[in-house]
Amino acid sequence: MIRRRKQLIYLLGFMGVGKTTVGELLAQRLRWPFIDLDATIESGQGNTIRQIFEQAGEAFFRDIERAALIEASKTEPAVIALGGGTFVQPLNFEYIQEHGGMTVWLDCSLEELRRRCEGKDDRPLFRDPESFARLLEERLPYYRRAHFRISTESRDPEEVAEEILRLSLS
């Protein structure tokens, strides 16, 4: 039996790397639906990610994030932008491997990520530069297990989306 490749693209990577921006552009090009996991969580809970973290804690957030991931993965075709921590939760990682689809790690330097996240208050896990760097370091072994790695450093999001588009068609 020939198994068709799933028409699902998961974009992963650290906060500030451009998953949402690139995901929207990519979905437009492919004419596929775009699902931003954080946005679906916020609209489902009627609360911002920061408020969910503050009021219910990270463990609760990870539970609803997992449920949102499973729900989003029922849509096919789709481009799904994960949150920065989604792919590094072992159960989510296993789920994505088993479910199928293409995984793309968007990557850029720590300095650039810091620059993009500093001064914004919508990311509860951006506390200080040191813990930000540590968290990235801890997550790299997971991110490296994606099918593809693409740099977003000093690059036009259109160009990044184009590169992923080519990969998805090859």
Which residues are at the interface with ligand S3P (CB under 6 A)?
15, 19, 38, 49, 83-85, 123-125
Place of tokens 């000093």: 154
Give the CA count within 13 Å in the CB-facing half-sphere of 35: 21
- 32/38 with CB nearer ligand S3P: 38
- 15/27 with CB nearer ligand S3P: 15
Least distance from C-beta 74 to ligand S3P, angstroms?
20
- Give alpha helix (H) positions in 15-156: 19-30, 37-45, 49-56, 58-72, 90-99, 110-117, 129-143
- 53/148 with CB nearer ligand S3P: 53
27 neighbors 34 (Cβ within 8 angstroms): yes
Least distance from C-beta 158 to ligand S3P, angstroms?
20
Least distance from C-beta 149 to ligand S3P, angstroms?
16
Closest CA to 79 of 147, 44, 43, 31: 31
- 4/128 with CB nearer ligand S3P: 128
- 77/124 with CB nearer ligand S3P: 124
Radius of gyration of the chain (CA): 15
10 forms beta bridges with 80, 103
What is the three-class DSSP state of 87? helix
Least distance from C-beta 53 to ligand S3P, angstroms?
7
Least distance from C-beta 3 to ligand S3P, angstroms?
31
Q: What is the Cα–Cα distance from 132 to 135, expressed in whole angstroms?
A: 5
